[in-house]
């Protein structure tokens, strides 16, 4: 590693001026900013508005993937790669949260529970979904991808 010898003898401005004169490239020091953590920086209402989870919910989800990710996802990786890593980490724990009834008795018990809780007859399970925002598709099919908030998205579901 080469040190810049001009820095030892001259003030920074003088060294830069001399380097320009001598056509020497002076390496610039890059000052890195601390990573912005919305969980620490945003208020409770703003967290829920932006991410649909409160502070504790976000920390819980982070704890689920902690240890399942290789490397540090906060160090500027490409977004699709990081999303895939987090998705895989969550999917690896799916059996902790997703349960399918395996007997007729369990199905009947679930149907009675949904009936008593929400007056849903003959319901034995639920699915949930969310909208994933996308770039505007070609104009001829664009309206098929506009959601109720007038944004382009794909509705994805998890059961």
Q: Which residue has the tokens 């382009």?
A: 152
Give the span between the Cα atoms of 24 and 18, in whole angstroms.
8
Higher pLDDT, 27 or 84: 84
DSSP-derived pairing of the beta strands 153-158 and 128-133? antiparallel
Non-local (6+) Cβ contacts of 88 within 8 A are: 68
Confidence of residue 115 (pLDDT cuts 50, 70, 90): very high
Helix (H) or strand (E) holding 158: strand 153-158
Evaluate whether 65 touches 72 at the Cβ level (below 8 Å): no
Mean pLDDT to the nearest integer, 150-158:
83
Confidence of residue 55 (pLDDT cuts 50, 70, 90): very high
| Helix ranges restricted to H, the chain | 6-9, 12-22, 38-41, 44-51, 55-65, 79-91, 104-118
Evaluate whether 92 touches 67 at the Cβ level (below 8 Å): no
Non-local (6+) Cβ contacts of 121 within 8 A are: 111, 115
Evaluate whether 93 touches 87 at the Cβ level (below 8 Å): no
Task: Please determine, for residue 19, whether its predicted confidence score (pLDDT) is greater than 70.
Answer: no
pLDDT, residue 90, reads: 87
pLDDT, residue 60, reads: 92
Give the span between the Cα atoms of 4 and 52, in whole angstroms.
51
Mean pLDDT to the nearest integer, 51-72:
82
């Amino acid at each position: 590693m080469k040190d810049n010898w001009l820095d030892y003898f001259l003030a920074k401005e003088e060294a830069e001026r001399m380097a320009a004169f001598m056509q020497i490239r002076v390496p610039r020091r890059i000052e890195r900013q601390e990573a912005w953590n919305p969980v620490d920086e945003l208020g409770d209402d703003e967290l829920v508005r932006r991410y649909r989870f409160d502070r504790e919910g976000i920390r819980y989800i982070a704890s689920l993937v902690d240890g399942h990710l290789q490397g540090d996802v906060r160090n500027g990786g490409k977004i699709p790669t990081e999303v895939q890593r987090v998705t895989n980490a969550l999917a690896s724990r799916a059996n902790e949260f997703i349960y399918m009834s395996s007997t007729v008795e369990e199905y009947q018990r679930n149907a009675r529970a949904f009936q008593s809780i929400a007056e849903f007859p003959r319901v034995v399970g639920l699915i949930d979904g969310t909208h994933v925002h996308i770039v505007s598709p070609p104009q001829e099919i664009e309206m098929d991808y506009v959601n109720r908030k007038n944004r382009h998205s794909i509705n994805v579901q998890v059961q």
